[in-house]
Structure 1
């Protein structure tokens, strides 16, 4: 496998991971919206024995969401660092990325 092909595979993999992360975030958004609607409609003051309990439950939910977002942020940071390393490694050759995208001005055919 040539260096150009390896770089293309890395770029395709990074794009697929970004897509999957976007799908995770979309699913979490839908899940959070459903939970919010259920809580608004079914959980009232009478569901909690003390005011402390009324505060603890939402804080637990928010803590879980923050942990999930921190994990996704770490994944994104890792992807970003990998892409920076890839781009910096080829920066000096033929305008970056080894000229694999052509000069960027013409009508190259990338369908193959």
Structure 2
């Protein structure tokens, strides 16, 4: 397999990973909406002995959501760094010629 095909396969794999991440984010958004609805209905003052207990539970839920978002952000940053390195390397090695060959059916 030549270099151009390898680079195109790497880009295609990156696209698939990004698509899967978008599906994960969509599912997490639905989960966050359910958590919000549950919180509104169940984290009332009548449920807890003190306001401090109610606040502690609410903060724990928010911390979990923030940890999830931070993890996804770190993963995206790593993928972005890899794609930048790949594209920079491609530019140095004739990226324009590779894309012209691909567009002309030689790829």
Q: 1:36–1:30: structure 2 CA closer, same or farther, 3 Å change rule?
A: same
C-alpha separation in 2, matches of 1:44 and 1:10:
50
Give the root-mean-square deviation of aligned CA atoms: 2.0
Per the alignment, residue 75 of structure 1 pairs with 75
SS at the partner of 2:92? coil
The offset of 1:63, in angstroms, is: 0.7
Write 1 or 2 for the structure with the bigger share of helix: 2
Correspondent of 1:100 among 94, 98, 101: 98
Per the alignment, residue 55 of structure 2 pairs with 55
Normalising by structure 2, report the TM-score: 0.85
Per the alignment, residue 37 of structure 1 pairs with 37
- What is the aligned length? 105
Written as runs of structure 1 = structure 2, the 5 A alignment for 1:78-89 is: 78-89=78-89
Contact map agreement 1:4 1:98 (CA 8 A) in 2: no
Structure 2 alignment gaps of length 5 or more: none
The structure whose RCO (Cα within 8 Å, separation 6+) is larger is 2
Contact map agreement 2:43 2:58 (CA 8 A) in 1: no
Normalising by structure 1, report the TM-score: 0.82
